[in-house]
Structure 1
């Protein structure tokens, strides 16, 4: 038996249905359908995850190619799978792991909805985002895409879902979302010695 109030409370719980009284208890009947060892469960879970990832790569690629065609872009593709459409070629340093990057960005879903931005005109604070390449925990697509740009470059990064947030959903975009980032690499700072 579980107290109904413990299930239907707080920010994460659903609203208590009117037919369940406050202070009442709920009884659940559970039937075990299958038992498996932890190692078998882990192996099966890993196999299922890999199968989903393989299917998602194909889905993402189809969505990306459609987006590229619709927007008439001519991107290059990195070895890891990030598409980079250069809007403005920079002339400065190419960043390496350990460099601090200063970036202005706007993140959009494939349908053009802004979900995050550093730019005021796109709803951000107007302050560039600073991070250390290869050290600060940010999405893989940024690490890969920005490491291919020179300081002063502006580009559109098209990230397959695995290089963005993968199966992790957000209130602003769903799980397995291909994401588009308009990025400007403002500054590359070498670490102080």
Structure 2
């Protein structure tokens, strides 16, 4: 992965250097400077299609800062949609509709222009932006999907690939065993008997359930309370939600734990950090990198389709008796 990332940055540097020396940049109707390096690809983007791309975004000027680099990580997916008439835009997305499979795009956004166009209020600029800077973005189109469903399936496959690569790296470094040991030591200290799942989570089964089994493609409604292993503090719940198993709707360890139950089942799922939110917890979440978690769960429903939302309808007002 490290080699791929370095290759991505090298590619960015090479393309950006060429771009700065190249006089063939075009200007979009909204003032964006861009250059498309064609590949003679046949598949073209259009409204309704989804682009899968590698991307590097860098700020240059008072100091150089890499804002994004997808090489060796999850590719960037974006849908092609028409912009509403009159909507101001000063963004590479304006020219995505011109791309074909295999094309590369270099797009330059000038901070001064973004401020002038009202797209970036000067008083709200992050510290890594200064007047006079420019944001250079490079893209490489890997695939163009004709529908959102095809793109979502590919996105899920890419997530699984990234997770597998990350897990292999953790295993080689010994970090996977360390994270598993944290949960095992917790269970031993608390004298909790739990069974290890195929992926490496641990499940305490209080009641296995007697209804339909939790399995891939099934829609499962689960009641839960989420807690942290290291201090037993509650971070969410009690709560409930419905998810489809096997499509990435929940963290891997949680789903693998649910698979050990049937409808009506109840228990606790203990999850090592690599099967929870991993190295990159959601922004603003209360989780640290590779933080182990556990969930007290109850399987409320298992079905083949998304259950209809339950709407609470108040009873009609009681009729008043006739006055005498």
Normalised to the residue count of structure 1, the TM-score between the two structures is 0.67
> Which protein has greater RCO, CA pairs closer than 8 Å, 6+ apart?
1
Q: CA deviation at 1:9?
A: 6.8
Runs of 4+ in 1 over 3 A off after TM superposition: 8-14, 23-26, 46-54
Q: Is the 8 A contact 2:222 2:242 kept in 1?
A: yes
Q: Which residue does the alignment assign to 2:212?
A: 93
Give 1:22-101 correspondences, 5 Å limit: 50-53=168-171, 54-101=173-220
Offset, 1:79: 1.6
How far apart, CA to CA, are the structure 1 residues paired with 2:271 and 2:305?
Answer: 28
- Indicate the residue corresponding to 1:157 in structure 2: 269
- State which drifts further: 50-59 or 161-170: 50-59
CA distance change for structure 1 residues 50 and 185 in 2, over 3 Å: closer, same or farther? same
Higher strand share: 2
Question: In structure 2, how many angstroms separate the alpha carbons of the residues matched to 1:191 and 1:47?
Answer: 32
Is residue 181 of structure 1 aligned with residue 291 of structure 2?
no
In structure 2, what is the Cα distance between the partners aligned to 1:12 and 1:183?
41
CA contact (8 A) 1:115 1:173 kept: no
* Residue segments in structure 2 that go unaligned for 5+ positions in a row: 1-60, 64-110, 112-119, 134-163, 307-324
**TM-score after normalising by structure 2:** 0.42
Answer yes or no: is the 8 Å Cα contact 1:97–1:134 preserved in 2: yes
SS at match of 1:2: coil
The superposition leaves residues 124-143 of structure 1 with CA deviations (integer Å, 9 ceiling, x where unpaired) of: xx5x2011111252211122
What CA RMSD, in Å, does the superposition of the two structures yield over aligned residues? 3.3
CA 49–187 in structure 1, closer or farther in 2 if over 3 Å, else same? closer
